[in-house]
Amino acid sequence: MSVGSLFKKTLIVIHRYAGIPLSLMIIVWFVSGIVMMYAGGMPELSANARLDKLPPLDLDAVELTPAEAAERLGGRGITSPTLTTVLERPAYRFARGFGGAVTIFADTGERMPELTIDAARGVAARFAEVPEDRVRFVETVENVDQWTLTQRNTLPLHRFDVDDGTGARVYVSPQSGRVELVTTTRTRALAWAGTIPHWLYFAPLRTKPLWAKVVVWTSAAACVLAVIGLVIGVWQLRLNRAPKVSLIPYRGWMRWHHVLGLFFGVFALTWAFSGLLSMEPFAWTQATSDLNVRRDVFTGGPVQLDRYRPFDARAWDGVLGDRVLKEVEFTRIRGDHYYAARYTRAPDAKGAGAEGRRERLHQPYGVTGRNERGRLLIAADTLRSRTEPFAADGLLATLRDAVTDAAIVESAVLDDYDSFYYSRGRQAPLPVLRVKFDDAMATWVYVDLATAQPVAQVHRLNRVERWLYNGLHSLDFSFWYDKRPLWDIGMIVLSLGALATTAIGLYLGLQRIRRGTLRLLRRGAVTNPRPSFDNDGPVEGGDFRA
């Protein structure tokens, strides 16, 4: 046997038998991937969904200014507060440390104690809009469970099961007094059908360092399997065939596996490879730019809480109109102080409506901004609302002064997305200012003109990874990624084609193992014949039939 023939036979054996266990994983990836197109990721409670459940903020009950509330904490190690509602009372919530928070009631200045289980049950009941006797305490989650894998920084959480017809589980933070997570029977089922098997998000594995290695190893093995399959598929074609001899040397299901694999195997390879890149296993995928634009570059300095005067509920009513105030943040933009009022609309007001599914933006680099349907900037000194965007020229000048080790080579205001700042669900804010620098990594910075906040920073290697990960994994190319259902049809057809190719290969592999096993059993029976028995005992010359 020649070296070429031996190599070819070796590839066939590897593809045939390694494909059996890997095909099971690949089939799971394709099925769960289709589910994730519509179900999204793990269950979560978005900021807007939480806002909808908050009661209207009672400004008449606010007795303390934010500066007075900060004085109660000594003013050290805290950030600007958020005025919200806790236990049906107005309260200032200050962030402190990594993921920590402390709450001061705005009506009395008391510090909120850690919630008892009964008090947390009341929070869960009000959130779910059911009586407290339909809310059952289950446990205090100290270590992450299957549904709090992304909530590590908020632990511990009290978990309650709610009898509301949806199978709701509500997780309440005893420290902050707010609901951090809600899951239902439906969202949990969709996660089990989508994200959990797709990303191997099984809690016992996901919480271990081994998880990343398993994802990388299985993705790499799938890439090797796909490459071998494509090589064999081309190798087996009868390119120098005689007239009337088929190009495909197989019949039956093997013929279908060969034909489909030559086309859909390419997409199986690109999806496995881009899935591997999602774990950023290579040094270049983790590279960072030396140019770093701070998030506070446009603030003009830290927030000075004494610039905010006592709340006048009547004056605020005139500013808000039909908006229902839920929370107030305190911010500084270009030296001026603002209230960032978060609101919902009255039920019968124009613009009220449900929130669409939140989108993860994006793997190789963060897009931190989101379109918020209810956010209003109000000047702290005049209580006038600001609806116009901040001037791009002024932001550009500030950015030029802040970045001294690189020059700006190009800038533009984008009223629509480009290839690197985008969202299929149009959840990334627009318009934005895009600024390109001449640093070694050719960094691009995107600034939200509505909030004067940097929302993305993308360097040269990020842009390469964007095409290799998002481009190959989601096929989110500009000619169709925002044209639904064209993108849906294309993704589903390609996924089903690759799924069929893999499933046929798995079936053929299992059939081969079955036939091989039966042959071994028959050979064993011939080598070691067993006696047959009639009703009275052994019969000479009896045979064994499989």
pLDDT in tens, 55-67: 999 999 999 999 9
Q: Provide, rounded to the nearest whole percent, the portion of the chain with pLDDT above 90.
A: 69
Q: Which of 452, 406, 414, 456 is nearest to 431 (CA)?
A: 414
pTM of the model: 0.86
Place of tokens 């074609």: 237
pLDDT for 292 equals 84
Q: In the numeric block, which tokens belong to residue 371?
A: 């379109």
Sheet-wide strand order for 135-141: 135-141, 157-162, 168-172, 179-183
Least confident interval from 37-51, 84-98, 419-433, 474-488? 474-488
pLDDT for 47 equals 84
Task: Evaluate whether 420 touches 413 at the Cβ level (below 8 Å).
Answer: no
Place of tokens 């934010």: 66
CA–CA separation, 369 and 454 (whole Å): 8
pLDDT band at 19 (very low <50, low <70, confident <90, very high): very high
Strands 375-379 and 453-458: unpaired
Does an H or E element contain 323, and which?
strand 323-333
Q: What is the mean pLDDT of residues 361-369?
A: 74
Mean pLDDT (the chain, rounded):
89
Q: Which of 81, 91, 80 is nearest to 113 (CA)?
A: 91
Least confident interval from 49-63, 87-101, 379-393? 87-101
pLDDT for 529 equals 60
Q: In the numeric block, which tokens belong to residue 462?
A: 């990020």
Does an H or E element contain 100, and which?
strand 100-105
Residue 531 has pLDDT above 60, yes or no: no
For 45, 55, 250, 342, 372, the CA distances from 347, given in Å and listed in that order, are 21, 13, 64, 16, 18
Residue 254 has pLDDT above 90, yes or no: yes
> Which three-class secondary structure string do you get for 373-431?
CCEEEEECCCCCEECCCCCHHHHHHHHHHHCCCCCEEEEEEECCCCCCCCCCCCCCCCC
> Regarding predicted confidence, which is higher, 466 or 523?
466
